[in-house]
A and B are shown apart, each in its own frame.
Chain A
Amino acid sequence: MAVKDAGRAARSASRVPPAREPERQVESPELIQLLTPEGERVEHPDYPLDVSAAEVRGLYRDLVIVRRIDFEAIALQRQGELGIWASLLGQEAAQVGSGRALGPRDMAFPTYREHGVAWCRGLDPMKLFELFRGVSHGGWDPTAHNFHLYTIVIGSQTLHATGYAMGIQRDGAVGEDGAAVIAYFGDGATSQGDVNEAFIWASVNNAPVVFFCQNNQWAISEPLERQTRTPLYRRAIGFGFPGIRVDGNDVLACLAVTRKAMQAAREGQGPTLIEAFTYRMGAHTTTDDPTRYRLSAELESWKLKDPIERVKQYLIRTQQAEMSFFDKVDAEAAQIGASVRTACQQMPDPEPLSMFDDVLTSQTRQLADERAEFAAYLDSFATAEEGR
């Protein structure tokens, strides 16, 4: 009898209590939107946006080109030219809208999926391909375009961004002509300690940093409900600064919201959390298989909210662009796609001994010895070849 009871107790203990019905993370009244999925321009009292037709066409061009680069990268991975690729498909508006809100003095701290922001900052896409091909871990100078190196460990860069913003404060560069920092991260990262520590540091220091969270609903296979029971933008209030949810597929809204938050930061009003509500249309990376964990119906519903199509519809409806404009953009994107494809295929492997470079600012004797030993080892093959 006692044994039987013990068995029952063990079974009930191993039974995980059902998760409480999560709050549905669908569009809510708080979502800032300036361009509907149908391409209709709507006004928001807090975010008036004055953009010229040329600017909107420029944003459209950015969106198309970054999608094309992404498309080429996926194909190159399939052909074995890249080791892996993290696709931004679906997140173009969040990245281009926020990226185009930055000034030249502002600093951006990306994750490893911010190809659209990299494009806006002027980074050569080949630098990204180097990383995903395995030629370098990044290998660009963050000061060249005020675009920091890609960070792969989830959330770490939010602290770097906050520290950098504290440096801006110490430089006295906060004020009318001030500079600010934008830290990119995803919904999964909001569970990381570092992101929460960054929120605290930014808050108590009133640091000029904007936390730009692209909530693409999925952290590899884990849906948002595994990370949070409260809408992410609402977390900011607990840390003592404002949080906003914006339609992440609306490039105009992302531009307006980021512009306002960055300006507030530059002027010394401290941090803002922006939750760009979007969707990861592709796999987490080229090694992932989303059919194992999510329904195609969800994907289909987000296809109707495509970030590029709505801008096109808007430009056509308002007669701000001729059809020839769209043909021209497509042709330019195809040309850029072809050139990155060729450049990637022709990218040479690094020299073996380069792995010893740039560990410290000066090479230690220990490492110099290891390098010399390895060079001699490599040379021994060449010598053996000659002797044959």
Chain B
Amino acid sequence: MTTLTLSRALNEGLRKALENNPKALIMGEDVGKLGGVFRVTDGLQKDFGEARVIDTPLAESGIIGTAIGLALRGYRPICEIQFDGFVFPAFDQIVSQLAKMRYRSRGPVRLPVVVRIPFGGGIGAVEHHSESPEALFAHTPGLRVVSCGGPADGYAMIQQAAESDDPVIFFEPKRRYWDKADVDVETGLADALPLAAARVLIPGSDVTVLCYGPMVRTCSEAAVAASGDGRSVEVVDLRSLAPLDTATIFASVRKTGRCVVVHEAVVTGGIGAEIAARITEECFYSLEAPVLRVGAPTTPYPPSRLEEHYLPDLDRILDAVDRTFGY
């Protein structure tokens, strides 16, 4: 075991991906000498060369569009979009081309392209640097959408994403880049949880809390706090947002009878809404309370001096947990 930050764990995972497959490439803005603005690609260009770790022109549509072309030629590009709010110039290439080309071909085309996106708020940034656009991608058939919560998953999941023959949108919780945890970088990934699987992080019996990305830590802290009040909270890290691991979700909710979904994204039309609808359809007779959502209000991301009010925190999660016992 080695103690690594999330940024470093992703870096080690990317290094493994480049070592394991000579067709793997990294491309993005400032990913070379600088090592990315969050240093996730630090040192990779030095070790793997400019042909495999590519500093691209400053145009996101171009990054994804050329990555598609490289994938058609047999390469496996891992693209970095510098910040969540900058993915939209590439949105057309992702939604209309990356997600649909295999379907268009009726099978022969494979596009093993990873799109890494640092996402979420809490870092005191200016506009466009704190967004959570994951539902837009999860709503798009033809994409796999995942998010890691901490260093161990970051290390494993980025390698699994790189090995996937499908396009993967990979959301990295940027405010957790400097969180540290033990990561096993010695043994391979043979026993790792599959990329599309959720993980029961903290087992519990009274209420299920579903979360992903930056909210995994917050929800874990909420579970500890709730246990002090005598409430047993089961925390499930969804990890995969498309497809959803509904088997794990339903098993947990059938056991506890209560569910709170937590994300930084706005609740309207969000991942939580999708999950709540599916739980209602499949677990109706197990429910003791409606599925509650904790997320952002339906406003654009506010100026950073307001973000502590905008983002879900420990108290809002505990408040929702309490409310599920009020029915």
Residues of A within 8 A of B (CB): 136-143, 148-149, 151, 153, 156, 158-171, 193-194, 197-198, 200-201, 204, 357-362, 364-367
Contact = CB atoms under 8 A, between A and B. Distances in A.
A163 B244 contact: no
Given A163-B67, A163-B70, 5 more contacts: A142-B108, A149-B109, A153-B97, A160-B97, A358-B103
Nearest to A159: B65
A377 to B, nearest CB: 16
Interface residues of B, number: 45
Contacts of A367: 243
Contact of B72 (A140, A148, A359): A148
Contacts of B247: 365
B124 interface: no
A138 B101 CA distance: 10
Contacts of B141: 359
Interface of B: 25, 51, 56-57, 59, 61-62, 64-75, 89, 92-93, 96-97, 100-110, 141-142, 144, 165-166, 196, 243-244, 246-247
A361 B166 contact: yes
A367 B104 CA distance: 18
B114 to A, nearest CB: 14
Contact of A153 (B67, B71, B72, B96): B96
A163 B65 CA distance: 7
A265 B72 CA distance: 19
A140 B105 contact: yes
Given A156-B96, A197-B57, A364-B196, A161 B244 contact: no
A137 B103 contact: yes
B65 A198 contact: yes
A106 to B, nearest CB: 13
B69 A163 contact: yes
B66 A163 contact: yes
B57 A201 contact: yes
Given A153-B96, A358-B106, A361-B110, A200 B69 contact: no
A165 B75 CA distance: 12
B109 A170 contact: no
B59 A200 contact: yes
Contacts of B108: 140-143
B105 A160 contact: no
B74 A156 contact: no
B102 A358 contact: yes
B93 A156 contact: yes
B102 A170 contact: no
A137 B108 CA distance: 13
Nearest to B102: A358
Q: Which residue of A151, A358, A360 has the most chain B CB atoms within 10 A of its CB atom?
A: A360
A149 B104 contact: yes
Contact of B69 (A139, A140, A149, A166): A166
Contacts of B196: 364
A197 B65 contact: yes
A159 B61 CA distance: 8
9 contacts: A138-B105, A159-B66, A162-B65, A163-B72, A166-B73, A170-B25, A170-B73, A200-B62, A359-B142
B65 A194 contact: yes
A358 B108 CA distance: 9
B263 to A, nearest CB: 19
Given A159-B69, A361-B110, A364-B196, A167 B74 contact: yes
A17 to B, nearest CB: 30
